[in-house]
A and B are shown apart, each in its own frame.
Chain A
C-alpha cells in the first residue's frame, strides 16, 4: 500500500481535471471513496471511462491529483494496477484459450509465479461458478460464462479494489443474480472494495451502498443511497380511473406538486392530512381513486430526479442502454 494511505479512503481525488484537446472530459473532480461497494453512475459520455482510466493510472491528468490505496495516480500507476482488479465491459478474453489458461495468464501478467497463478486460477474459477467448465475453450462460452471468466481474471491476485465496468451486461436473470451475489460476497466476505459502473440501477442498488454520479465530467453526487432516498421528498402515489388530467388540475389548483405518469399521479406528501386532501380533490374532480400508497423511491428515481434537475433529457435508464447492455448483440 502507499506510504501515506490512511486506510479509510480507498480512492481520493482533488480537483482532478482531464482535457482531450479542447474537450473537457473531467472537470475538477473531487472524490473521497471509502472501502465498500460504490456504484458509478452517469449517462453515456459523462466521463466514467475517463475516470477509470485516470484511477488506473493509464492516462495523465491535465491537473489535480489523486490517490488509489494511497498510491499517486500520476506517478504510481503500475503499483495501483498491481492492487486493482479491472473487469472491462466488453469481451477481453482470448477465444482460443481455455478459462483456466486465460486466468492463469492474467495472473502471470501481474507477476505471479506460473504455479501459483495456476493454483489461484482454479480457486477463482470455482468462486465465480466455472469450476466444471474451466477446461473449455472460451469461444464455446455463453455471455454469462464470459462475464464470469472476466471476473475471475480480475480476482486472480486477490485485489484490494475491484473495478467492474457493466458487470451484468447481456446476462440473463439467473446469471445476473449470481454475478451480483458474487460481487456482494466479495465485499462482505472478502472484505474487498468494489467500484461498479452500470446502467441498471437495480444492480447497483443490490450491490452498492453508496453511489458516485457523474454528469458532463463533474461529480454531481457522492453519497450513501440511503441518505439520498431520505432526502427525496416523500410522495403519495395514486392510480385514478377516468379524468387523470382533471385530477391533476384539481390537485395543482389546491397547491400540490404533482408528477404524472399516465393514470398514475405522484403527489408531494406535505403532512399527514395529504391523503385526506387527495381524496377530497378526487371527489371534486369526480374521478375514482383505485389505489393510493406512499411511494418509496428507488435508485432509478433518484437518478432520474437528479438528471432532471441537471437538465439532462433522460426519460428512463433504458435510454442509456445500447444493444450490448441488453444482450441483443449476443453471438450465441
Chain B
C-alpha cells in the first residue's frame, strides 16, 4: 500500500507512527495526519462580467409592485403568501360576488312576486350599492377587514423582521418609492376584490336584466357615489394596515391589530351609544366614518346623529396620521446594522 495519501512527519513508517516506536525522545504530539482529502472540483469558479443596461426608476418600482401582487397568484418567484391566505382571499372574492349569482337567478324567474323580491333584495338601488361596498354582514363588516389583515400582515413587518429593507435601500430605491409601491400593491389587491366586485355587480345587473341606456344614465350617479366610497374604503384600510405593519416585526401583530382597530372602535362606540344615546364616538371608528360618508355619497339616510363633517374630518385625520406614522417608520428602516 502506498503512503501517498499520508503525510508522515519525519519520514517515519506507518508502524512507528501507529505505535510510537521512535527513540522515546520525540515530542509528545500527534505527528501523523492523513492529508486533507482532495475535494472534487464541482465547478470552475470564474468571474463573469455583465455589461447590460439598468432600467429607469419606473422599472425598479414596477418590480416592487409586481413582486407583491404576483405573489397572490403564483406560488413561486414572488412574495410568498401562505396557501391558506390565498384561499381565504379567494373565498372573500367569491363572497363579494354572491349578489351576481342572485341577480342571475332573479333574471331566470321572469316577472312576478319572486322577481320583485329578488330585485329588492339584490337589484341595483342606493341601499344595495351602499351595501356592496360598505354595509351588509358579513361582506363588509367581516370580509373587508379580514381581507386587509391578510394582505397587509407582512407587507413591511417582514422587511423589518428579515432585514430585507437592506435589499431595497442599498439599491437606487428611495424610501418614497418603497412606501408608495407597497401602498399601491396593497391598494390594488384590496381594490381588486372590493372595487372590482362592485363593478361586476353593477355590470351584471344591467346585463342580466337587459337594461338600456336610460337605466344606465339613471343609476350612474349612484354607482359613481358607491365607487368613490369603495375607493375611500381601500385607501383608509390600506393606510391603517400598512401603518400597523410598519411598527412591528410580526405578520400576526399587524393583522390582529388591524382587526382590533376596526372592530374595537366600533364596539366601543356601540357601547357608548347604547349607554348614553349618542353616536359621537363613532368618529373614532374608521368603518363608521366611511359608512356615514358612503351614505351621503349614495344619497341615503344617515344612521348617525352626529354631523357628516365630523366623519369627514375623522377620515382625513386617520389617513394623515397613518401615513405620517408609516413614513416615520419606513425612515427608520436600516441598511446597516446599528
Which A residues lie at the B interface, using CB under 8 A?
A: 49, 52-53, 56, 58, 77-79, 81-82, 84, 86, 88-98, 101, 104-106, 108-114, 116, 120, 123, 126-127, 129, 131-132, 153, 157-158, 165, 181-182, 185-186, 189-190, 192
| Known contacts A92-B162, A94-B158, A182-B45, A49 near B60 by CB under 8 Å | no
The answer to whether A88 touches B170, judged by C-beta atoms less than 8 angstroms apart, is: yes
Q: How far is the CA of A79 from the CA of B56 in the complex (A)?
A: 11
Contact A105 B338, CB 8 Å, known A93-B162, A185-B47 = no
Roughly how many angstroms separate A49 CA and B164 CA in the complex, as a whole number? 17
CB contact under 8 A between A82 and B54, given known A49-B338, A53-B335: yes
Give complex CA distance A185, B44 in Å: 12
Check if B135 is an interface residue, CB within 8 A of chain A. no
Give the most central of A56, A79, A110, A120: most B CB within 10 Å. A110
Q: Which residues of chain B come closer than 8 Å to A90, judged between CB atoms?
A: 163, 337
Across the interface, A56 reaches (CB within 8 A) one of B164, B165, B168, B170, namely B170
Mask: chain B, 35-54; 1 = CB below 8 Å from A; 0 = not: 00000001101111111101
Q: A185: which of B45, B60, B166, B335 is its contact (CB, 8 Å)?
A: B45
Query: Which residues of chain B come closer than 8 Å to A111, judged between CB atoms?
Result: 54-57, 59-60, 63, 172
Give chain B's interface secondary structure class.
loop
Question: Does B63 contact A108, Cβ atoms closer than 8 Å?
Answer: yes
B interface residues, how many (CB within 8 angstroms): 42
Interface contact A94-B164, CB-CB below 8 Å:
yes
Q: Is B169 among interface residues, defined by CB-CB distance under 8 A?
A: yes
Q: A88-B337, A157-B54, A165-B337 are in contact. List 18 more A-B contacts (CB 8 A).
A: A53-B336, A82-B171, A86-B335, A88-B336, A89-B336, A91-B163, A92-B162, A92-B163, A92-B165, A92-B167, A93-B167, A94-B164, A101-B76, A105-B67, A109-B64, A129-B45, A131-B43, A185-B46
Interface residues of B (CB under 8 A from A): 42-43, 45-52, 54-57, 59-60, 63-64, 67, 76-80, 158, 162-174, 335-338
Q: Select A81's contact among B51, B165, B172, beta carbons within 8 Å.
A: B172
In Å, the complex CA distance between A153 and B171 comes to: 11
A-B pairs, 9 with minimum CB distance: A96-B80, A111-B55, A108-B63, A190-B47, A86-B170, A78-B172, A158-B50, A111-B54, A49-B336
> Given A98, A109, A114, which contacts B167 in the complex, CB threshold below 8 Å?
A109
B47 & A189 in contact (Cβ 8 Å cutoff): yes
Q: Which of B52, B56, B162 contacts A94 (CB 8 A)?
A: B162
B43 CB contacts on chain A under 8 angstroms: 126, 129, 131
| Known contacts A101-B78, A127-B47, A157-B54; A110 and B172 CB within 8 A of each other | yes
Cα separation A123 to B338 with both chains bound (whole Å): 32
Which listed residue, A58, A82, A105, touches B169 by the CB 8 Å rule?
A58
**What is the bound-complex CA distance between A318 and B52, given in angstroms?**
43
**Which residues of B sit under 8 angstroms from A190, Cβ to Cβ?**
47, 49
